[in-house]
Amino acid sequence: MAEDLHEIVARALMLDREAITDDLKYNSIPEWDSVAHMALIAELEASYDVMLDTDDIVAMSSVGTIREILKKYDVEA
């Protein structure tokens, strides 16, 4: 079982796990700006052992879409 996505997002954005939902959107909170997005991408790649396409990194606009996009990489987050 892969590590929980909310856990990873919380760690990368330095937020409490309770603050993370699938509806949370990129750039909707100060903690998830473009710099934090890069930290999140690095965390996702390391945790799930994948190498994301640039287009997918740009498309990861919410926790929910991240979960969807990861399926393309055979990751059930």
Partner 1 sequence: MLKPDLLAGRVALVTGASRGIGAAIAKGLVAAGATVWLSARTLGSLDAAVESLNGLGAGEARALYFDVADPAAIKQAFGTIQKADRRLDVLVNNAGILKAAMIEMASVEMMDETYGVNLRSVLVASQYAGRLMARNGGGSIINLTSIMGAQGFAGQAVYAASKAGVIGATKSLAKEFAGRQIRVNAIAPGAIDTALIEGLSDEKRQETVSSIGMGRLGTPEDVAGLSVFLASDYARYITGQVIGVDGGMVV
Q: How far is the CB of 46 from partner 1 (least distance, A)?
A: 5
Report residue 24: phi and psi, to 5°.
-60, 130
Q: 22, 45, 64, 73: which one contacts partner 1 (CB under 8 A)?
A: 45
**CA–CA dist 70, 18 (Å, integer):** 22
Q: 2, 29, 38, 58: which one contacts partner 1 (CB under 8 A)?
A: 38
Q: Render 22-34 in DSSP notation, one character per residue.
A: TT-BTTSSTTSSH
Choose the binding region for partner 1 from 3-11, 25-33, 45-53, 58-66 (rule: CB under 8 A): 45-53
